[in-house]
Amino acid sequence: MADRARNGKVTVVGAGFYGSTTALRLAEYDVFDTVVLTDIVEGRPEGLALDINQSRAIEGFGTRVVGVGGGSYAGTEDSDVVVVTAGLPRKPGMSRMDLLETNAGIVRSVAEAIARTSPDAVVIVVSNPLDEMTALAQLATGFPHARVMGQAGMLDTARFTNNVAEELGVPVASVRTLTLGSHGDTMVPVPSRCTVDGRPLADVLPPDRIAHLVERTRNGGAEVVALLKTGSAYFAPSAAAARMARAVIEDSGAVMPVCTWVDGEYGISGVYLGVEAEIGREGVRRVVEGDLSDSELAGLREAADAVRSKQADVADL
C-alpha cells in the first residue's frame, strides 16, 4: 500500500449506485492518487467517501476518496478522467430513449462544468441513452472527439460473454465475445468474433441458441431493471466504466469496445458508435477495425444510421 506508485485524479459525477460503485472500484485499483465523487445531493458523496476511505486499511489500498455535495465541482479541478453517471436510471417498461430529454439537460450542464474545471480531462459518459448523451457531452464540452467516449460495448460484451458461459456451463474465462453498434435496439453482437476455448461459437451452439443469446444480450439491461423493479444495473456497468478509466490513466493502449467517434472506419463517418478502440492517456488513440461478416457489417452501418439521426437531435437539447 505504501510503496505503490499512484498518479492522477478521477472524478465520478453522480453518487447513486452506479457512481458510488464506480468510485469504489477506482479506489480499490490503487492506481489513482485521488477519486472525487460529486453529486447535487448534499452529504451523500461526503458520506460515501468517508465510508470508502475507512475500508482502505482493510482492503489495503491508498487512493484517497473525496466527496463533494451540493452540485459543487470544487475539488474536481484538473481531473485527468471524468466519469459521467449523472441522470435518471430506467424504470420497468422504460426504454433508454424515454430518458432522452431529461438526461440531456443534466448531461449538458455537467459537461459544461467539466469544460470549465477540467479542460484537459478524458470524459467517459455512462448516462442513458448512451450514444446520444456521449455525442451531447462532446458538443457541450467542445473537447476533441478522442477525449469523449461512452461506456457501452464493454458492458454489452461482458453480458454476451456471461450469457454464453451460462448457456454452455463453462467458465467465463474460456469465452470471448464482442458487441458493437449502439447501446440499445441496434446493438450488433458479433458472433463471427466469438469463441469458446478457441473454437468458433457457431461450432458449439446451434444458430437458434446463438440468436437467443444475442437477443438476451440486447435486452440485458431491461432484464435487470425488470427484476430489480426500482433502479437499474450498476455492478457490471461500473466495472466496465472503471476499466476504461484505468486504461486512460495507465496509458495502456488496451483495445476495448467503446462508444467513440467514427470517421471513415468501416465506411461509416460522422457518428458516435460502438466499435473497438485503443485507449490511452489522450482518450481514444484510434479505432481498431476488425473483420466482420457481411451481415455484421450491414448491422453496424444500420446502427450508425439510426444513431446518427438521433445524435443530430441532441444538439438542440
Judge whether 248 and 81 are in contact, CB under 8 Å: yes
- Which pLDDT does position 3 carry in this prediction? 57
- Which pLDDT does position 66 carry in this prediction? 98
| Mean pLDDT score, 283-309 | 95
- Which pLDDT does position 154 carry in this prediction? 97
| Mean pLDDT score, 124-151 | 95
pLDDT digits (tens, 9 = 90+) for 202-256: 999 999 999 999 999 999 999 999 999 988 999 999 999 999 999 999 999 999 9
Domains of the chain plus CATH, in order, are 9-150 (3.40.50.720), 154-314 (3.90.110.10)
Task: Catalogue the active-site residues.
Answer: 183
158 is in an annotated binding site: no
pLDDT digits (tens, 9 = 90+) for 170-184: 999 999 999 999 987
Please, what's the b/e burial string for 148-172 (b: 16 or more CB within 10 A of its CB; e: otherwise)? Answer: bbbbbbbbbbbbbbbbbbebbeeee
Residue 29: CB atoms within 10 A of its CB come to 18
| Mean pLDDT score, 283-295 | 96
pTM: 0.95
Is the model's pLDDT at 2 over the cut of 80?
no
Give which of 159, 149, 156 is closest to 127, Cα–Cα. 149
19 is in an annotated binding site: yes
Radius of gyration of the chain (CA): 19
18 is in an annotated binding site: yes
Judge whether 102 and 222 are in contact, CB under 8 Å: no
Mean pLDDT across the chain: 94
Is the model's pLDDT at 99 over the cut of 80?
no
96 is in an annotated binding site: yes
pLDDT digits (tens, 9 = 90+) for 30-73: 999 999 999 999 999 999 999 999 999 999 999 999 999 999 99
Phi, psi dihedrals of residue 288, rounded to the nearest 5°: -100, 115
Rounded CA separation 300/40 (Å)? 37
16 is in an annotated binding site: yes
Rounded CA separation 247/284 (Å)? 10
- Which pLDDT does position 145 carry in this prediction? 98
- Which pLDDT does position 305 carry in this prediction? 94
pLDDT digits (tens, 9 = 90+) for 70-87: 999 999 999 999 999 988
| Mean pLDDT score, 104-124 | 97
Interstrand relation of 269-280 and 283-287 (parallel, antiparallel or unpaired): antiparallel
